Amino acid sequence: MEATPLTAPSGRSYQPQTAKCISQGSYGTIYKCKAHEGTAPLPGFVALKVVSWDRPGLDEEIVLSERNVLDSITPHAGIVKLLDSWVDGDGHKLYMVFDWFERGDLHEYSKTHRIDEATQWHLHQQVLSVLEHIHSQGYAHVDVKPENLLVVDVNPLKVAFTDFGSARRIRELGNGPVRVHTACERSVPFTSTITDLYDALLRCP
């Protein structure tokens, strides 16, 4: 993407800090941006996620589902806040704006910082609390992993869930088995909410 400002229907504009993306996942690409209200810059930075349904395997319904989930779930301190969103004029890209967390995700953070047993216990309590909230809203995240937990603070360690691109309504998933992979790469059947708990306990530090 060119490092030129993007103007949203809200009137805010977002200036990528570089044409190179910060990260790229299965569903979207993330850019670090400076936000402006009119000509006035807003404090700090934001994360701009760009998702195109021109990519193989994606369609409009899949792409828009993440925004719909975030709009449906009651705000929570442990869930990244959707600040702005819009679909481009050609109708093939969704732009979503989130708070920017300079420390990145838990996966990258854990490479350079030791997470002791007490901190792990505190972290699991946080993650399970957020999952309880998500499930109470009728959704399963389905993709709980360190890469999808952004580091909000470090003293004590606080994280926020991101990437709801795989999230689904629990009633749509039903009580049938959802296939997940253990560390031994064996496929094990779990219901949707149990899959979230399994991932939280075994895939997170």
Query: Which structure tokens are listed for 168?
Result: 């689904």
Report the distance separating Cα 133 and Cα 166, nearest Å: 17
**Do residue 86 and residue 115 come from a single domain?**
no
Read off φ and ψ for residue 103, nearest 5 degrees.
Answer: -80, -10
pLDDT of res. 193: 59
pLDDT of res. 3: 73
Q: Is residue 83 part of a domain?
A: yes
Q: Which of 58, 73, 99 is the last residue of a domain?
A: 99
Q: Which residues of 77-108 are buried (b: 16+ CB within 10 A; e: fewer)?
A: ebbbebbbbbbeeeeebbbbbbbbbeeebbbe
Active site (catalytic) residues: 143
- Per residue of the chain (205 residues), what is the pLDDT tens digit? 667 889 999 999 999 998 778 887 667 899 999 999 988 999 999 999 999 887 777 778 878 899 999 999 999 999 999 999 999 877 789 999 999 999 999 999 999 999 898 998 899 899 999 999 999 999 989 888 899 999 999 999 999 999 998 888 887 766 554 443 333 333 334 445 555 665 655 556 6
Query: Which structure tokens are listed for 176?
Result: 């049938």
What is the domain count for the chain?
Answer: 2
- 79: domain CATH number is 3.30.200.20
Nearby residues of 128 by Cβ (< 8 Å), 6 or more positions away: 197, 200
pLDDT of res. 63: 83
**Do residue 58 and residue 123 come from a single domain?**
no
Q: Is residue 1 part of a domain?
A: no
DSSP state, 145?
A: S
Nearby residues of 189 by Cβ (< 8 Å), 6 or more positions away: 177, 178, 179
* Residue from 162, 164, 167, 165 nearest 192 by CA: 167
pLDDT of res. 202: 55
Q: Is residue 193 part of a domain?
A: yes
**Do residue 85 and residue 159 come from a single domain?**
no
